[in-house]
Amino acid sequence: MTPDLAQRLALLVITDPELAAGRSLLGVVEEALEGGCRAVQLRLKGASARQLLTTAMAFRQLTHRYGALLFVNDRVDVALAAGADGVHLGPTDLPVAAVRAWAGPRMLIGYSTDDPEVARATVEAGADYLGCGAVFGTTTKDVGNEAIGVQRLDEVARAVRVPVVGIGGITPDNAHHVAQTAAAGVAVVGAVMSAPDPRRASELLLAPFQRA
């Protein structure tokens, strides 16, 4: 596990324009960065490739100022064109091995799974980190609101030598449960995007991992 990557993934903020409730996505994310966040995943449901690229380029400038990582959800082409640090893939996206062969060794690749065996195979194929959930259930993705719990998260995190971040229903009130597992951090949508004070929310989400 790369210590620097694991540290930066202590808090991965995933964007959602609807949850930002009319506020600027850049503004919300900048507040999170001010609160210590050092990894951002750009996810814009329904956006065209052109819209996504324009937004990704603006986010790349912002994250660069804070020394933070920028990942683009699903779209490897947009991530490459925008100069993003990486891409996050799911089971319906291009295979990790194919993306690694296309994007080369420098691009960071994340993948979502809650299965230890799939986690090991995905890392073997070239994934640099994994997202695992939904830990406490979620309403931001159509996964049936199934909660895998912290024990399964811990199993996945212990199965691989790359950072694993827990995702799904994580808030400042329950993040300490994730920090007690082998996971490197948490990935959140609503806990920051909907927060009245994204900076403070980020500080609270990071606190258990900083203590650990």
Catalytic annotation present for 23: no
23, 120, 141, 158: the catalytic one is 141
38, 43, 152, 199: the catalytic one is 43
Read off the DSSP letter of residue 139.
Answer: S
- Cβ atoms within 10 Å of 77's Cβ, excluding its own: 15
Catalytic annotation present for 141: yes
CA–CA dist 53, 185 (Å, integer)? 27
Phi and psi at 159, nearest 5°, equal -85, -15
Do residues 188 and 12 touch, judged by C-beta distance below 8 A?
Answer: yes
Catalytic annotation present for 194: no
112, 152, 199, 202: the catalytic one is 112
Read off the DSSP letter of residue 119.
Answer: H
CA–CA dist 162, 160 (Å, integer)? 6
Q: Which residues are catalytic?
A: 43, 112, 141
